[in-house]
Each structure stands twice: as C-alpha cells, then as structure tokens.
Amino acid sequence: MNVSFLGLGAIGAPMARHLAKPPHSLTVWNRTADRARAFGTETGARVAATPAEAARGADVVITCLPTSAEVEALLDGDDGILAGLAPNTLFIDCTSGDPATSKRIARRLADRSVAFMDAPVSGGVSGAQQGTLTVMCGADDATFERARPVLDAFGKKLVLCGAVGAGDAVKAVNQALLGVHIWALSEGLVALSKAGISPRLALDVINASSGRSNVSQNLFTERVITRAFPRTFKLALLEKDVTIAAEFARENRVPSPLTQSVADLLRVARHELGEEADHVEAVKLIEQWAACEVTG
C-alpha cells in the first residue's frame, strides 16, 4: 500500500513513523521542508516536494494539520493535493477538524471518486509513539473497512462514529471535557495554594475521590506541580477544539454556556500566553491573576 502522509507536526510525525515500514511504502510532505527531509533520513520514507507530488501514485493520503481550513487550502493550486490525486484514492484526515468543513471536503473529493474520512485521534504524543491512539472515524462502512489496515498502524481503538463529520464531532466534545477539567482544576488548585494548602496533597486527595480525571491524575501531577510543562499539544489547538464543540452544539440547537465559556477563556489564555504555549500552561494565566503559583 502506497501511503502519503502530509503534516509532520508534534503528533503527525510519530504517527507517520509507524507507516514507514512494510507492508506500507511511505511518502511524506511537510510545509517546512527541513522537517520532512530529517524524517526521510531517519525513516527511509520518500520525501515529496509538493502536496501534489505526495498525492501522485498514493493509494491512501493522510493529512494531520492544525485545522480543517489548512487541509482544505492544501487541496487547490498547481501544487495542491487535487493536482496529484487519482480516482479511487482514499483520503484520511487525522486533523482534529470541524464537521462542516470535513463534509465540504468530502463532497469535493466525491466529485473525483475519492473517498474521504475524518479520523481525528486521541492519546497524545506518547500514544502516537506507542501506536495506541484512539481514532474517531466519520465515514461509511466500506470506507472505514478500507482504512482499517492503515489506521491499525498507529491506532489501538478504531471507532466508526457515524457519517463524515461524526469523528470530528466526538473529538471536539472530548476536547471540551479536557478544557473544562484543565480550567476548573486550575482555579481550584490556585485557590488551595493561595490558602496555604499543598497542591500535591490536594491532588492526592482528588485522585482518590470523585473529582479525579486524566487532568488531575496525569497532567497536573506530572507537568504542573513539577513545573515541567513539556510542550506536546498547543493551547491554541485546544482553544480551536473547544470552539468547534461550542459551534457544533449551536448548530444542533443545544445551549452550551459552559463549553462556550471555556472556549472564550482559552482564547484569552492563548492571547496572553502565545501560540507556542502548551495546553496545560493555561493554569499560568490563573496563577498570574491570583499572584500565586501551583507548585509542590
């Protein structure tokens, strides 16, 4: 199977690495060509000079870019994906995208007899490295079955969530929960710290109680109170995801004041902390407001 992977970012690169071995034959493209060249040297993957060149001869094209907008933009032009895409290719978008744009992309590709699937992932960079990602798919049954051998390379739990856009929607709701947990735990731990109560002790209690979550059990324990703050998933991308969740609720006429509030707060945090900040660094904004650091 000739697989082309476009977008070798924090999660894309470790996902693509699993495809750089038999039975797959991998071609990669990345906007910053140096990253693609380094990946090619490391893995033996063929490096394409343009998205069109990457798509040419591919059985499966995979994209993993920040948002659906970048994926759609990459389709067009002399060097764009469509210029190289043959009928009957399978297009899998692993971007955490938005359902409306994914549906539009699917319609455009269907005109060329190319099947599309939204397939955002969860499990973080470590899950990508270990090949244990959860993959949330939006497609018809036949497309899902066609994609399975490729998704198996980096995914452990592959779920067909519904028609095109359904994978994006489930992913966005998951991310809204991540955002809510980060924000609520940040407020709580900063308040406890300011009152002189150890955040390490508080986390120990919470992690044995009903308020625990992945955020309390892993992210805050390993990254916040240690002040390690590794940069694995951008705050800007979480803000994008929670905004998609709020928009999705609105489109379906479901009031979502909590999701919208967290989206707004994350937008402020993104503005204050910058485009390169990690999602967990959102706590730093509350620390600044309160003039108190969570450290243990």
Residues in contact with ligand NDP by CB under 6 A are 7-12, 30-32, 35, 64-66, 70, 74, 95-96, 121-122, 124-125, 232-234, 237, 241
Ramachandran category for residue 144: left, alpha or beta (phi over 0 → left; psi -120 to 50 → alpha): alpha
Q: State the minimum distance, in angstroms, from the CB of residue 127 to ligand NDP.
A: 8
Q: Which helix (H) or strand (E) holds 290?
A: helix 282-290
Catalytic residue among 103, 157, 171, 234: 171
Ramachandran category for residue 20: left, alpha or beta (phi over 0 → left; psi -120 to 50 → alpha): alpha
DSSP labels for 161-220? EESTTHHHHHHHHHHHHHHHHHHHHHHHHHHHHHTT--HHHHHHHHTTSTT--HIIIIII
Q: Is 284 a catalytic residue?
A: no
Q: Would you say 229 and 143 are in contact if contact means Cβ atoms under 8 Å apart?
A: no
CA distances from 151 to 22, 25, 144 (A): 14, 14, 9
Q: State the minimum distance, in angstroms, from the CB of residue 253 to ligand NDP.
A: 26
SS3 label, residue 263: helix
Which residue, 25 or 30, has its beta carbon nearer to ligand NDP?
30
Q: State the minimum distance, in angstroms, from the CB of residue 27 to ligand NDP.
A: 15
Which residue, 6 or 225, has its beta carbon nearer to ligand NDP?
6
Q: Return the C-alpha torsion angle 225, 226, 229, 230, nearest 10.
A: -140
Which residue number has the CB closest to ligand NDP?
9
DSSP labels for 32-84? SHHHHHHHHHHH--EE-SSHHHHHTT-SEEEE--SSHHHHHHTT-STTSHHHH
Which residue, 11 or 285, has its beta carbon nearer to ligand NDP?
11
Give the residue numbers marked as catalytic: 171
